[in-house]
């Protein structure tokens, strides 16, 4: 456990050692605001809740989260620190988990800094703060899902651009797997059970369920098992790369 903490601390500090963290957070907050107030017409809607704000999040995460995840392993490989990291007496799972948790905590910080919008909506009306809290939790879980996918893909390459592009595509498929675009493709030939299975992988479906204010254990389990699955794949990929 202490090695997870050591890896986490180094990785988390690394975000703030360069302008990366500040640039990312500023642009993330600006984009969130722009979508909510201008495109989402938050004021004109005259509704005192944050459903507009949260409805854009899956689509913004689609680009922002792979941008964080792409460097996780690709950069270690490119600079050669991967060799250092893997020859230190740290179990591989601890390295994978520590790095993932650091990236997750960083997205948590960025998400938490959207709090002015929560203050705004409370100033303007009486929103259901329970629903808002549930939505924030759901949002963080969804970000974790995207991150785990991105981290796993980052481990396959030493090229950050490739890691980013592939992650965006894979994350997109997970986002929309409940939408007609994907389902129609399967509907023509696949058995109903498979269609249901594919649809059940949709981030959108699970996230929207949570933003209704209902924290269903199944939605939570979905995101956690997805994270566990991709982190396991992450470990396997790094181990396979050792074989050469």
Partner 1 sequence: MIEISGLTKRFGPITAVSGIDLTVGRGEVLGFLGPNGAGKSTTMKMAAGFLAPDGGYARICGHDIETDTLEAQRQLGYLPEGAPAYPDMTPRQFLGFIAQVRGLSGDAARNAIAAAVHKTELDPVLEQPIDTLSKGFKRRVGVAQAILHDPPVLIMDEPTDGLDPNQKYAVRQLIKAMSPDKAIVISTHLLEEVEAVCTRAVIIDRGRIVADGTPAELLARSHHHNAVTLIVPAAQADAVAARLKSIPAVADVQQAVSNGEASVTAFPKDGALLIEDVSGMASRENWDVKELYAEAGRLDEVFRAITTHDATRARESRA
Interacting residue with partner 1 among 26, 34, 84, 124 (CB under 8 A): 84
| C-alpha separations of 219 from 1, 33, 156, 209, 222 in Å | 27, 27, 28, 8, 5
CB of 244 to partner 1, least distance (A): 6
Q: Alpha-carbon distance 33 to 200, whole Å?
A: 30
Interacting residue with partner 1 among 26, 38, 41, 80 (CB under 8 A): 80
Residue 46 makes contact with partner 1 by CB under 8 A: no
Closest CB to partner 1 among 79 and 225? 79
CB of 2 to partner 1, least distance (A): 7
Residue 244 makes contact with partner 1 by CB under 8 A: yes
Tokens of 104: 């997750």
Residue 1 makes contact with partner 1 by CB under 8 A: no
Q: Alpha-carbon distance 219 to 210, whole Å?
A: 7
Residue bearing tokens 């030939």 = 189
CB 182 within 8 A of CB 176: yes
Q: Alpha-carbon distance 213 to 202, whole Å?
A: 18
Total interface residues for partner 1 by CB under 8 A: 24
CB of 91 to partner 1, least distance (A): 7
Interface with partner 1 (CB under 8 A): 2-3, 6-7, 9-10, 13-14, 17-18, 79-81, 83-84, 86-91, 242-244
């Amino acid at each position: 456990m202490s090695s997870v903490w050591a890896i986490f601390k180094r990785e988390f500090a690394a975000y703030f050692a360069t302008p990366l963290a500040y640039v990312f957070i500023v642009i993330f907050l600006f984009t969130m605001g722009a979508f909510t107030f201008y495109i989402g017409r938050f004021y004109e809607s005259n509704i005192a809740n944050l459903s507009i704000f949260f409805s854009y999040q899956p689509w913004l995460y689609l680009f922002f989260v792979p941008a964080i995840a792409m460097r996780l392993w690709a950069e270690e490989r490119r600079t050669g620190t991967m060799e250092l990291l893997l020859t230190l007496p740290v179990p591989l799972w601890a390295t994978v988990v520590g790095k993932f948790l650091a990236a997750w905590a960083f997205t948590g910080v960025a998400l938490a800094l959207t709090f002015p919008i929560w203050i705004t909506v409370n100033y303007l009306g009486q929103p259901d703060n329970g629903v808002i809290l549930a939505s924030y939790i759901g949002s963080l879980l969804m970000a974790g899902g995207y991150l785990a996918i991105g981290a796993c893909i980052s481990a396959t390459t030493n090229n950050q651009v490739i890691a980013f592009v592939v992650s965006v595509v894979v994350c997109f498929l997970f986002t929309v797997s409940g939408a007609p675009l994907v389902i129609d493709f399967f509907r023509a030939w696949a058995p109903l059970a498979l269609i249901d299975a594919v649809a059940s992988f949709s981030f959108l479906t699970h996230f929207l369920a949570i933003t209704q204010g209902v924290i269903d254990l199944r939605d939570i389990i979905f995101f956690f098992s997805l994270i566990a699955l991709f982190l396991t794949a992450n470990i396997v990929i790094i181990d396979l790369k050792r074989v050469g």
